[in-house]
């Protein structure tokens, strides 16, 4: 494993949301001091990491000063209606923001209105301070952060490895302690894959739970938070969830609590389907298998089951390619990512009947998994069956040629749940012998976001792990 960002000794500056609140209330920290420390860490670390494409230094410091004045005037009352006051967050470069440019990882111009997306506006209204925009592949097309705007985002655990993607900048920024939390998007695993590779928690809620604006016609893309603990993700969800008229699907999201409905310790024993996907590597299997007896000790009934559905990868490719072709004009090609162009050109070859067949496959998958979830409360599996690959690659070698259209096929546990819209969370559960993080994915029924968060929180407590890259500016314990 290559030298990590841990080569420098740093004092922890990023804490969990509740601890940040406590430090501010007790006078052990100020928002301005915290934000200034985070900005300094970004300046010192990000040139080699590549997590950020834009940093909002001036605005972040202005908002921090305003937060300090509010705390001085109101004390604990400052947090009423502002549960994230003083919390530093980053935002993926696919999500619109009002002042910071949103380039969507592309050289192509972005003609969308420069206004905060609902998710960003809700974070700001809750008191969070956006410190910057994070790296993504062009339009989020690949599960890496290789693109034409700059160098690829590198993994804080090993700089020669990928952070994953397409929310790789978000995951790396959280793991390296360059913010407390981040806002990503997930169209085929793009929150959960980098969360697994970087050793943080990444949550894709039920489809429509957080509004996605502008809405996506492929109906695969979810907005989701990344943080260092399940508790922080639950706090973020309490702020982010809820309908917005600009995303019609958000109004159709199933009702139900978004934070844990019961204390994790009081969660009833669950029926768990344990799945191992083909291609799971030995090092990843060894880590995840170590979690199985922990689930059993918590009282859950765990059944080993075969993958209970056929691989829907072909349908995923057709739906994504058709959407990418629709959104890319031939005259735009000179400015496009060459890999994405392979997908676009394939999409232009698809007939309406082919896209209809892909949608029929999606419907069959939803029906099949709804039936499976009558037997099981949760499905559990490795989030990604392999370790993080090379930083400058879009995929492991066997899937790295976009012309083969296999560029996402190496993450077979991720994309099915975009097609079904089920809530899915990646929880860090250990390190391989190479020192690389492994994530375990918990998947619930559509609408059971609270159950997934509760179960993940209970498992996180039982494991007692907080994976922290050596030398990062966050606190935690290594296994």
Q: What is the pLDDT of residue 5?
A: 36
Long-range contacts of residues 459-462, Cβ cutoff 8 Å, at least 24 apart: 459/291, 459/294, 459/295, 459/298, 459/427, 460/201, 460/229, 460/230, 460/427, 461/264, 461/265, 462/294, 462/297, 462/298
Cα distance between residue 155 and residue 282, in whole Å = 21
Q: Which two tokens stand for residue 298?
A: 């918590």
Distances (CA, A) of 270 to 82, 230, 296, 376, 461: 34, 18, 10, 8, 17
Which 3 state secondary structure label does DSSP give 6? helix
Q: What is the pLDDT of residue 112?
A: 83
The phi and psi torsions of 321 (rounded to 5 degrees) equal -65, -40
Catalytic option among 166, 167, 221, 426: 166
Q: What is the pLDDT of residue 9?
A: 35
Cα distance between residue 345 and residue 26, in whole Å = 58
Q: Which two tokens stand for residue 249?
A: 């699907």
The whole-number mean pLDDT for each consecutive block of 10 residues of the chain, a chain of 479 residues, reads: 38 85 95 97 96 98 98 98 98 96 91 92 98 97 93 96 98 97 98 98 97 94 97 96 95 68 74 98 98 97 98 98 94 94 97 98 98 98 98 96 96 98 98 98 96 96 88 56
DSSP tally for the chain: helices H, then strands E: 15, 13
DSSP string, 154-216: EETTEEEEE--SSSHHHHHHHHTTS-SEEEEEESSSTTHHHHHHHTSEEEE-STTSS--SS--
Element (H, E) at 284: helix 282-289
Catalytic option among 92, 137, 204, 250: 92
Cα distance between residue 177 and residue 181, in whole Å = 9
Q: What is the pLDDT of residue 259?
A: 58
> What is the helix, strand, coil percentage profile of the chain, to 5?
40, 15, 45
Cα distance between residue 301 and residue 269, in whole Å = 7
Q: Tell me whether residue 92 is one of the annotated catalytic residues.
A: yes
Instruction: Return the closest-CA partner of residue 389 out of 380, 381, 397, 401.
Output: 397
The phi and psi torsions of 306 (rounded to 5 degrees) equal -70, 160
Long-range contacts of residues 391-398, Cβ cutoff 8 Å, at least 24 apart: 391/152, 391/153, 391/154, 391/155, 391/159, 391/160, 391/161, 391/162, 391/163, 392/146, 392/152, 393/144, 393/146, 393/162, 394/137, 394/142, 394/143, 394/144, 394/146, 394/339, 395/142, 395/143, 395/144
Cα distance between residue 245 and residue 257, in whole Å = 20
Which 3 state secondary structure label does DSSP give 371? helix
Q: Which two tokens stand for residue 113?
A: 């209105």
Largest CA distance in the chain: 63
Q: What is the pLDDT of residue 1?
A: 41
DSSP 105: T
Q: What is the pLDDT of residue 150?
A: 87
Distances (CA, A) of 57 to 43, 48, 69, 123, 129: 10, 19, 19, 17, 10
Catalytic option among 182, 190, 221, 229: 190
Q: What is the pLDDT of residue 478?
A: 45
């Amino acid at each position: 494993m290559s030298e990590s960002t841990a080569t420098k000794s740093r004092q922890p500056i990023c804490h969990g949301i509740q601890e940040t609140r406590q430090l501010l209330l007790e006078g052990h920290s100020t928002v301005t001091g915290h934000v200034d420390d985070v900005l300094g860490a970004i300046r010192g670390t990000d040139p080699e990491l590549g997590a950020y494409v834009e940093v909002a230094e001036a605005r972040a410091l202005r908002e921090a000063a305003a937060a300090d004045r509010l705390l001085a005037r109101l004390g604990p009352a400052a947090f009423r209606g502002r549960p994230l006051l003083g919390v530093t967050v980053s935002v993926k470069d696919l999500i619109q923001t009002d002042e910071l440019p949103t380039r969507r990882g592309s050289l192509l111009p972005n003609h969308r209105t420069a206004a905060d997306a609902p998710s960003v506006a809700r974070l700001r209204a809750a008191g969070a301070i956006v410190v910057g925009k994070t790296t993504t592949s062009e339009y989020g097309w690949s599960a890496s952060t290789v693109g034409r705007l700059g160098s690829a985002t590198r993994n804080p655990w090993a700089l020669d490895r990928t952070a994953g993607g397409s929310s790789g900048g978000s995951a790396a920024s959280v793991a390296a302690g360059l913010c407390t939390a981040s806002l990503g998007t997930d169209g085929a695993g793009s929150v959960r894959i980098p969360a697994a590779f970087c050793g943080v928690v990444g949550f894709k809620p039920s489809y429509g739970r957080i509004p996605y604006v502008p809405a996506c016609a492929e109906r695969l893309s979810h907005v989701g938070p990344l943080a260092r603990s399940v508790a922080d993700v639950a706090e973020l969800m309490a702020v982010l969830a809820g309908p917005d008229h600009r995303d019609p699907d958000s109004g159709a999201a199933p009702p139900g609590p978004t934070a844990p409905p019961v204390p994790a310790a009081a969660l009833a024993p669950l029926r768990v389907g344990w799945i191992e996907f083909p291609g799971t590597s030995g090092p990843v299997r060894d880590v995840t298998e170590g979690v199985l007896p922990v689930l059993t000790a918590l009282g859950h009934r765990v059944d080993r089951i075969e993958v209970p559905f056929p691989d829907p990868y072909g349908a995923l490719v057709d739906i994504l390619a058709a959407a990418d072709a629709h959104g890319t004009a031939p005259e735009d090609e000179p400015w496009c990512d060459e890999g994405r162009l392979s997908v676009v050109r394939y999409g232009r070859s698809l007939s309406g009947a082919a896209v209809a067949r892909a949608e029929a496959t999606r419907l069959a998958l939803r029906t099949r998994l709804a039936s499976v979830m009558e037997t099981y409360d949760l499905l559990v599996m490795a989030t990604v069956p392999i370790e993080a690959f090379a930083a400058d690659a879009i995929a492991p070698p066997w899937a790295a040629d976009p012309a083969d259209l296999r560029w996402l096929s190496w993450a077979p546990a991720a994309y099915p749940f975009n097609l079904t819209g089920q809530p899915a969370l990646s929880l860090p559960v250990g390190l391989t012998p190479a020192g690389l993080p492994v994530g375990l994915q918990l998947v619930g029924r559509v609408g059971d976001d609270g159950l997934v968060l509760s179960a993940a929180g209970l498992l996180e407590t039982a494991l007692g792990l907080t994976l922290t890259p050596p030398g990062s500016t966050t606190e935690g314990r290594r296994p």
